[in-house]
Structure 1
Amino acid sequence: MKLLLYTKSIYKLYTQLGWKRFFSLVRSKLLRFLFEKKKTRESLFPATTGNFEYSLWLQKYFPRESDYEGMKEVCKILAYKPLVSIITPVYNPPITFFKEAIDSVLAQVYENWELCLADDASTDTEIKKIIEAYRKADSRIKVIYRNKNGHISDASNSALSIAKGEFVALLDQDDLLTKDALFQNVLALNQNRSIDMIYSDEDKITEDGKLFSPFFKPDWSQESYLSRNYTCHFSLYRKKIIDSINGFRKGLEGSQDYDLMLRFSEKTDRIHHISKILYHWRTHNNSTSLNAGAKSYAAVAGEKALADALERRKEKGTVEPVSGYAGNFNIRYALKNDPKISIVIPSRNQSGYLEKCLNSIFEKSNYKNIEVVLVDNGTDEEKAIGLIRYWKEKEPDRFVWLKYGIPFNFSKLINFGCEKASGDYFIILNNDTEIISPDWIESLLSQAQRNEIGAVGCMLLYPDNTIQHAGVVLGVGGIANHFMLGEFSESTKHYCYLKLTNNVSAVTGACFMIARKKFKRVGGLDENFAVSYNDIDFCLKLGKMGYRNLYLPYVRIFHYESKSRGSDMSPEKKIRLDRESEMMKEKWKDLIDNDPYYNPNLSKSRFDFSLNV
Structure 2
Amino acid sequence: MDSQRLVSVVIAVCRTEFFETALSSVIGQTHDAIEIVICDDATDGLAETVTDLYRASCQWPILYLRNESPLGADACFNRAVAEASGRYIKFMAGDAVLAPDCIQQMVAALEVNPQASLVAAHRQWLNAEGAALQENLATRFRVSEPTVFNGPDIVGLLGEFTCDFIGELSSVLCRRDDLLALGADLFALNGESVGPLGNLALYATLLHDAELIMLPATLTGTRIAPQQLTQQGIEIVGTDSDHLPAFHRLIREAGWASTSLDNGWVGARPLSATQGFTDFNLLAQLSAPLPQRLNPQQVEAWLGHRVPTPEQQTQIDRHLADVGAPSLLVVIKDFGDAPEKVQRSLDSLGSHSALHAAMNVVVLTDATVLPTLALGVRLNTVAIGNLNTAALLNQVIETQRFDWLIVIDAGTQFTPFGLTAGALKLLESPDARAAFADEMHRRPRGGLSSAMRPDFNLDYLLSYPLLTAGHWLFRRETLLELGGFDEGFADAAEFDLILRLYEREGAGQIIHISEPLLVCDLPEAVDNPDEIATLQRHLQVRGYPQATIEHTLPRRYHVQYGHTDQPLVSIIVPTKDQLPFLQRCVETLLHITRYLNYELLIVDNNSETPEALEWLARIDALGSAQVRVLRYPHPFNYSRINNVAAAQAKGEYLVLLNNDTAIVHSRWLDELLNHALRPEVGVVGAKLLFPNGRIQHAGVRLGMDGPAGHQHIGEPGHIQGYMQRVQVDQDLSAVTAACLMVRRSIYEEVGGLDEEAFVVSYNDVDLCMKVGALGYLNVWTPHSVLIHEGSVSQTHVDTATQQAKRKRFVGEQLAMYRKWLPT
TM range (shorter): 0.7 to 0.9
Match of 2:515 among 264, 276, 301: 276
**Relative to 1, partners in 2 of residues 1:206 and 1:522: Cα closer, same or farther, differing over 3 Å?**
closer
CA contact (8 A) 2:472 2:494 kept: no
Structure 2 distance, partners of 1:267, 1:106, is 37
CA contact (8 A) 1:202 1:214 kept: yes
Return the offset for 1:256: 2.1
Return the offset for 1:80: 4.6
Structure 1 distance, partners of 2:620, 2:538, is 46
2:561 is equivalent to residue 367 of structure 1: no
Structure 2 distance, partners of 1:62, 1:205, is 19
Structure 2 distance, partners of 1:50, 1:359, is 45
Return the offset for 1:439: 1.0
Q: 1:161 maps to what in 2?
A: 398
2:816 is equivalent to residue 584 of structure 1: yes
Q: For residues 211-260 of structure 1, what are the alpha-carbon distances to aligned partners after superposition, in whole Å with 9 as ceiling and x for unaligned?
A: 50111111111111111123345421111121222222224343222222
Amino acid at match of 1:57: W
Match of 1:345 among 570, 573, 580: 573
2:342 is equivalent to residue 98 of structure 1: yes
Amino acid at match of 1:276: E
**Relative to 1, partners in 2 of residues 1:505 and 1:166: Cα closer, same or farther, differing over 3 Å?**
same
- Rg bigger for which structure? 2
Map residues 137-536 of structure 1 onto 2, 5 A cutoff. 138-146=376-384, 148-205=385-442, 211-229=447-465, 230-232=467-469, 234-268=471-505, 269=507, 270-281=509-520, 283=521, 289=522, 291-293=524-526, 296=527, 298=528, 300-315=529-544, 316-323=546-553, 326-394=554-622, 396-528=624-756, 529-536=758-765
Number of aligned positions between the proteins: 520
Which gives a bigger RCO, structure 1 or 2 (Cα 8 Å, sep 6+)? Answer: 1
Return the offset for 1:112: 4.2
CA contact (8 A) 1:507 1:549 kept: yes
Match of 1:574 among 806, 809, 819: 806
**Relative to 1, partners in 2 of residues 1:562 and 1:56: Cα closer, same or farther, differing over 3 Å?**
farther
Aligned Cα RMSD in Å?
Answer: 2.5
Q: 1:35 maps to what in 2?
A: none
Structure 1 distance, partners of 2:310, 2:472, is 24
Return the offset for 1:67: 5.0
Q: 1:544 maps to what in 2?
A: 773
2:368 is equivalent to residue 128 of structure 1: yes
Structure 2 distance, partners of 1:280, 1:498, is 24
2:806 is equivalent to residue 554 of structure 1: no
Amino acid at match of 1:192: S
Return the offset for 1:334: 1.6
**Relative to 1, partners in 2 of residues 1:513 and 1:562: Cα closer, same or farther, differing over 3 Å?**
closer
Q: For residues 52-73 of structure 1, what are the alpha-carbon distances to aligned partners after superposition, in whole Å with 9 as ceiling and x for unaligned?
A: 4314423544556665454323
TM-score (norm 2): 0.60
Structure 1 distance, partners of 2:306, 2:424, is 18
Structure 1 distance, partners of 2:318, 2:665, is 58
CA contact (8 A) 1:333 1:446 kept: yes
CA contact (8 A) 1:320 1:329 kept: yes
CA contact (8 A) 1:203 1:212 kept: yes
Amino acid at match of 2:774: M
Structure 2 distance, partners of 1:65, 1:252, is 45
Match of 1:110 among 355, 366, 380: 355
**Relative to 1, partners in 2 of residues 1:469 and 1:346: Cα closer, same or farther, differing over 3 Å?**
same
Amino acid at match of 1:180: F
TM-score (norm 1): 0.80
Structure 1 gap ranges (5+): 1-48, 284-288, 592-613
Match of 1:159, SS state, is helix
Match of 2:486, SS state, is coil
Structure 2 gap ranges (5+): 1-293
Moved more, 371-380 or 105-114: 105-114
Amino acid at match of 1:128: T
CA contact (8 A) 2:721 2:727 kept: no
Moved more, 445-454 or 417-426: 445-454
Structure 2 distance, partners of 1:311, 1:105, is 41
Match of 2:427, SS state, is helix
Structure 1 distance, partners of 2:330, 2:519, is 15
**Relative to 1, partners in 2 of residues 1:333 and 1:95: Cα closer, same or farther, differing over 3 Å?**
same
